[in-house]
Chain A
Amino acid sequence: MKHIAIGILGAAALGFAASAASADTLSDVKAKGFVQCGVNTGLAGFSAPNDKGEWTGIDVDFCRAVAAAVFGDGTKVKFTGLSAKDRFTALQSGEIDILSRNTTWTINRDTALGLNFAGVTYYDGQGFMINSKKLPGVNSALQLSGAAICVQSGTTTELNLADYFKANKMEYNPVVFEKFEEANAAYDAGRCDAYTTDQSGLYAVRLQMASPNDHVVLPEIISKEPLGPSVRQGDDKWFDIVKWTYYALLDAEEAGVTQANVDEMKNSDNPDIKRLLGTEAETKIGTDLGVSNDWVVNIVKATGNYGEIFERNVGSGSPLKIARGINALWTKGGLQYGMPIR
């Protein structure tokens, strides 16, 4: 009953909030003095509170970068933890300004749900995890016919799962939970033979299991999961700021601008770097975007460039130890490609 009440409230918020979904998010954000950012309630590497109670993760840092672009201060951001199911309503109703919650960019979300995706902060794909102690013979997802599979509802994950088993003419028993913790607990308790979600999520879930080393991620990747931040449709200015924050993070990495050397780089003679850091004479790049001209300096000071964010949260500097892989810059054989700032 309580759930229904929340649902109704959500729908009501959507309906009533005449001003919330205003078309000028930038002014609203400036008036409030902070960016309200919707993140995951707890997915290691993407957004989770650390032992000091501070939010950490790629998705969290992306919002800090936006706050730094707007305010010159990466701390002017507040986070709202959202379940997979509540996330879109929260954005549509104006409760949050950005949705940065390991959310897959799909055409349905980009159109029918009224979202605009600003970029792909992490190229992911869906995989399966099993307990190798309980299922020693299984080393491929194609052996999972007849298995019970734990999955979270309201995700692309449950759709891909259905398609994959159908395409391979296999049967399975879906065990579908609304909450992450419930799905994890059920899998750990042996209710399901396998767990499925984005591969990055599998690594995070694995660390939360009673004995992580018993669990293996199967090699198959069954879908494309481009995860990225999104905003409401109908506000091009705000969309631009979020989109170019993403490109700025990539361009900074490509130009070798890091948290440590950004002040030094301001003296660079390289025209690319001068444009990037707003040190070109009479530059209007930042102000045209609606922020200050040293916006990229502020971003990099707050969070570091894309590579630094990656390594700190999910890469070598984190317990997840995920390799850059396809998330490397295009210059290093990956897919991350920042549009030119000029």
Chain B
Amino acid sequence: MSQEVIHEATPQRASLLYDPRVRGIVFQVVLVALLALGIWWIVDNTIENLRRSHIATGFGFLKGRAGFDIANTLIDYSSDNSYGRALVVGILNTAIVAITGIITATIIGFLVGIGRLSNNWLIRKLATVYIEIFRNIPPLLVILFWYQGVLALLPNVRDSIGLPFGSFLNNRGFYFPRMVWSDGAWLVAVGLAAGVVLSWYVARRARARQMATGQQFPVFLTSVALIVGMPLLGFALAGFPLTFEFPQKGTFNLTGGVNVKPEFLSLYLALSFYTAAFIAEIVRAGIVGVPKGQTEAFSALGLRSGQGLRLVVIPQAMRIIIPPLTSQYLNLTKNSSLAVAIGYPDLYAIGGTILNQTGQAIEVVVIFMVVYLGISILTSLFMNWFNTKMALKER
């Protein structure tokens, strides 16, 4: 019996060495083992070194009193709060500039991208010049341009530029009245919610009716009317519970109202304008990527060109646009760490301060990596979801 087994096993064993699958597995196991060993070596070495240089370690420092103030805060924060809360302030500041930047960059990007394909010579050239300028300047320079070249040159507080609705612009930023809601304001919120729900319902019904009967319904106009009208109705019913707090001249600065600081403004504008140039190119490529036959086809079906663009070309272009758009969104978020050059307190700037005050370099850098990675993964997940929604449904 053994004779036979050996006889059978020998050729198998020989082939095992050359079997690409087995080899692949072996290589992967070896690689993982080496990687684990490497990481263990680094971690072990680090801990040992920190111990030897008498540097405190661990994340306990996050509970300590921060002791420094932060200019732009979206949540309540004072120097008595903890380092942990200061970090949250930084994360929120990064998030707000990334989100507003992404929205604005997308709008500008789509406009410029479509502009590049315009039949109008002037619009086409302007779009091209815009793209060429912003694509070829490093983002840091764009930020400094807005900060030192534009916003710093605005007049000082005493000579603030007055704008409509009690707003002001000066070298301390943009000031506008703050809305102060009083009793009954919840009716406005209820109105808004009702408007949104009703528009959604109308859109659903309209689509069902069009599918069944072919009759169309002005969904867009109705929705706008509902979303604006319902809150207004609530506002009137509650007896107009709104007053404004206007910015006023104080000893040094304007006080009251809402102040959008130049640090935020320049970062937001720079990131939007810079990233928009890349988005514009992506949009152009997406539209050009839809075969000309599709345009001819919708014309042949009797659709007007606006309708055709909206119903036929753009949905197909989106398939091409969304994946590279995601990486532009990620770039914008990561570029926001350039904020440190102009003193906008984003995650990186605040983390840096904490690093310096506590000396917990490794812990803070780990937090940086985790948060930026987290934001990137969230963005990717959202965009992937959006991508599958927009993908052509094969029928």
Interface residues in chain A, defined as those with a beta carbon under 8 Å from any beta carbon in chain B:
1, 3-4, 7-8, 10-11, 14-18, 21, 23, 84-85, 88-89, 92, 108-109, 111-114, 134-135, 143-148, 153-155, 158-159, 161-163, 165-166, 172-179, 182-183, 185-186, 189-191, 193, 232-234
Contact = CB atoms under 8 A, between A and B. Distances in A.
B356 A146 contact: no
Highest count of chain A CB atoms <10 Å: which of B56, B68, B255: B68
B345 interface: yes
15 contacts: A7-B364, A8-B369, A17-B49, A18-B49, A89-B361, A112-B359, A147-B252, A148-B172, A159-B67, A166-B79, A174-B68, A175-B343, A178-B349, A190-B152, A234-B54
Contacts of B50: 14-15
B53 A21 contact: yes
A15 B343 contact: no
Contacts of A113: 55-56, 358-359
Interface in B51-72: 52-56, 67-71
Contacts of A88: 356, 359
A162 B86 CA distance: 14
A85 to B, nearest CB: 5
A178 B352 contact: yes
Contacts, number: 175
B368 interface: yes
A110 to B, nearest CB: 10
Given A153-B352, A178-B349, A232-B53, A146 B252 contact: yes
A3 B340 contact: yes
Interface of B: 42, 45-46, 48-50, 52-56, 67-71, 78-80, 148, 152, 156, 171-172, 250-253, 255, 262-263, 334-335, 337-338, 340-343, 345, 348-349, 352-353, 355-359, 361-362, 364-365, 368-369, 372
Given A112-B358, A189-B152, A146 B335 contact: no
A154 B353 contact: yes
Interface centre among A3, A16, A21, A166 (most CB of B within 10 A): A3
A175 B71 contact: yes
A159 to B, nearest CB: 5
B53 A233 contact: yes
Nearest to B45: A18
Contacts of A147: 251-253
Contact of B345 (A109, A135, A163, A176): A176
Nearest first, the 7 closest Cβ-Cβ pairs linking A and B are A154-B356, A15-B46, A113-B359, A162-B79, A114-B54, A114-B55, A11-B365
